[in-house]
């Protein structure tokens, strides 16, 4: 076999294995702690996938699929009336962000991702559950949608601003969780279309998505078995610390 062909095949096998394993871990964490699937995989995807853009696309596809399973199952709990303005401005902001980032170098984007990972990890470590804001005005929803769109378009992390919004306006836990999933599904549909438009949809993206789906199912099953046996608070803190370290590595 040609050495170049062997190297390509080995690299493909290695990448596929990483995606499969990371999807299992991310889905397990999501099931046990409710922590974001997309945020976890974006700590690693940009370091071994061919480009940052492909990392975003694959992360969005997997995160959207994860959210879709929950949203379809519990669709009756979705608070549709709270979503319109945020979705509109999220879509507009994400389109602009994706168009802009398509002209940036991979290393620049990785450093930007590192800064965002550090900031989000610090927030979750020290302020999670302590900062509950009310965003009932339309102007506040415009701001939340815009910030979420920029974070989702550039870093596959639209969740934190929307989480703060939903905490402030939705009291029922089931409605809160399901509405968040509905946001994620809708966001990622548009993100995928926008990313495909600028060339972020690679030739192997669908293959890797299929591999990730298998890992997603396995991780969710393992998480359901361990749901009552693992401290969610401890697990989340471990993930936040890994996120902080990953962010620092990406910056420097």
For the chain, the 3-state helix, strand and coil shares in percent, each to the nearest 5, are 80, 0, 20
Q: Please give the residue that has the higher pLDDT: either 34 or 36.
A: 36
Domain ranges of the chain: 3-251
Confidence check: pLDDT of 34 > 70: no
Confidence check: pLDDT of 50 > 80: yes
Please name the residue that has the structure tokens 């190297």.
7
Confidence check: pLDDT of 1 > 70: no
Confidence check: pLDDT of 21 > 90: yes
Confidence of residue 20 (pLDDT cuts 50, 70, 90): very high
- Taking the C-alpha atoms of residue 39 and residue 223, their distance in angstroms, rounded to an integer, is 18
Instruction: Quote the mean pLDDT of the chain.
Output: 85
- Cβ(38)–Cβ(227) below 8 Å: no
Q: What pLDDT, on the 0 to 100 scale, is given for residue 2?
A: 60
Give residue-wise pLDDT tens across range 110-153: 888 888 888 888 887 887 666 555 556 788 899 999 999 998 99
- Cβ(123)–Cβ(219) below 8 Å: no
Give residue-wise pLDDT tens across range 176-204: 888 888 998 999 999 999 999 999 988 89
Q: What is the DSSP letter of 160?
A: H
- Taking the C-alpha atoms of residue 195 and residue 53, their distance in angstroms, rounded to an integer, is 7
**Which value, to the nearest 10 degrees, does the dihedral of the CA atoms of residues 93, 94, 100, 102 take?**
-170
- Cβ(176)–Cβ(165) below 8 Å: no
- Looking at the chain, the whole-number percentage of residues with pLDDT higher than 70 is 91
**Token representation of residue 146:** 């815009």
- Cβ(59)–Cβ(216) below 8 Å: no
């Amino acid at each position: 076999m040609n050495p170049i062909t062997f190297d390509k095949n080995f690299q493909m096998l290695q990448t596929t294995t990483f995606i499969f394993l990371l999807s299992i871990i991310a889905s397990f964490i999501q099931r046990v702690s409710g922590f974001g699937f997309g945020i976890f995989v974006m700590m690693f995807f940009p370091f071994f996938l061919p480009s940052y853009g492909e990392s975003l696309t694959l992360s969005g596809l997997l995160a959207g699929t994860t959210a879709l399973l929950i949203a379809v199952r519990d669709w009756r709990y979705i608070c549709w009336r709270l979503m319109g303005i945020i979705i509109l401005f999220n879509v507009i902001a994400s389109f602009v962000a994706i168009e802009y980032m398509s002209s940036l170098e991979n290393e620049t984007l990785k450093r930007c991702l590192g800064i965002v990972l550090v900031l989000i990890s610090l927030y979750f470590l020290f302020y999670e559950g302590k900062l509950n804001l009310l965003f009932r005005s339309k102007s506040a929803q415009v701001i939340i949608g815009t910030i979420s769109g920029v974070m989702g378009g550039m870093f596959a992390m639209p969740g934190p601003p929307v989480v703060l919004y939903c905490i402030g306006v939705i009291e029922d836990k089931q409605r809160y969780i399901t509405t968040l999933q509905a946001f994620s599904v809708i966001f990622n549909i548009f993100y995928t279309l926008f990313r495909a438009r600028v060339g972020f949809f690679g030739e192997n993206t669908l293959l890797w998505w299929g591999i990730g789906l298998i890992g997603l199912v396995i991780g969710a099953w393992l998480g359901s078995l361990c749901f009552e046996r693992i401290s969610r608070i401890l697990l989340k803190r471990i993930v936040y610390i890994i996120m902080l370290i990953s962010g620092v590595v990406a910056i420097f």
